[in-house]
Chains A and B, each alone.
Chain A
Amino acid sequence: MAESKEQIPPIPPGWDYNPAAWSQRIPIVVLAIIGMFIALYLGLYQLDIISSVWEPFFGDGSITILNSKVSHVLPIPDAILGAIGYFIDALTGIIGGTRRWRTMPWITIVFGFAVGPLGVVSIMLVVFQPVLFDAWCTLCLASAVISVAMIGPAMDEVLASLQYMQRVKRSGQSTWKAFWGIKEEVLKVA
């Protein structure tokens, strides 16, 4: 049994690499930050802070989509929501050390949920726009590509955390305390 967090083996049992290593996480964080800037740029256009938007391929496509009724259905424009989403992805990607799959499962699971299910929803909202408005938007598609690219590399860490939670449950310890990374609980279960 580990006596301190530093003694926890970084590689989860039954794995041959650490899914929470920086080399695994940095690329996802970089993608999220790029996505955030793209979304922010589109959001500034939607807020009328900038008056035009870059669109090399689809003519009036970006303007049609960014000014659509659907994109303004909420109090804040949808691209700003997207930027907030990417910010959450980047933030929950960067928080925690390289053993966080075990020392703070909650952040790994929030990260996985933000990148995975919420990512898929945002991708679908972006790509269903041609169905509704018969127009395409280059930067919206670029943002969707970034969201798609983040899912695969992010999910392994979620799996390691879920497996850890499974071991906690089987050992009869408190899954609630382990989920929030209470030190005594985290050290109890391998």
Chain B
Amino acid sequence: MWAQIINVILGLWIMASPDLLGFADPTAADNNHIVGPLIVTFAFTALWEATRSVGKWNLALGAWLLIAPWILSFEDRSALINDMVIGAIVVALSFIKGKITQHFGGGWSALFKNNPEHVEKARELS
């Protein structure tokens, strides 16, 4: 959970950094204005145990921040360093699942399994 909280903060930073750091490159600013809110949305949703797996989606967004400065050829050096450093941290934190204490009948992956937890439990009940 703490990993997701940090990713929320990093997402907010990505969203605000073009203005706070004064990015000279409009492409870099646009990129961060789009990617930041997405990171915040996924990390915040992942705060709840039932939707913790959504946090993993930030793996792709963090990886994008690592390569975006090269693909979009950022002209602003501070934007390049900022995005690569934050992107690397977001990727690392996306791997941290944290403790899951509640039971959800096998979770979302149960929907694609042959004999998930909730089916077993329902059989015991009937």
Interface, chain A (partner B; CB < 8 A):
1, 9, 12-17, 19, 120, 123-124, 127-128, 130-131, 144, 148-149, 151-153, 155-156, 159-160, 162-163, 166-167, 170, 189-190
Contact = CB atoms under 8 A, between A and B. Distances in A.
Interface in B87-109: 102-108
A163 B103 contact: no
Contact of A148 (B45, B50, B126): B45
B10 to A, nearest CB: 15
8 contacts: A14-B116, A14-B118, A120-B41, A152-B44, A160-B105, A162-B111, A166-B118, A167-B118
Contact residues of B: prevailing secondary structure = helix
B124 to A, nearest CB: 8
Given A1-B126, A128-B34, A131-B30, A13 B118 contact: yes
Contacts of A124: 37-38
Nearest to A12: B105
Interface residues of B, number: 37
B122 interface: yes
Contacts of B102: 15-17
Nearest to B117: A14
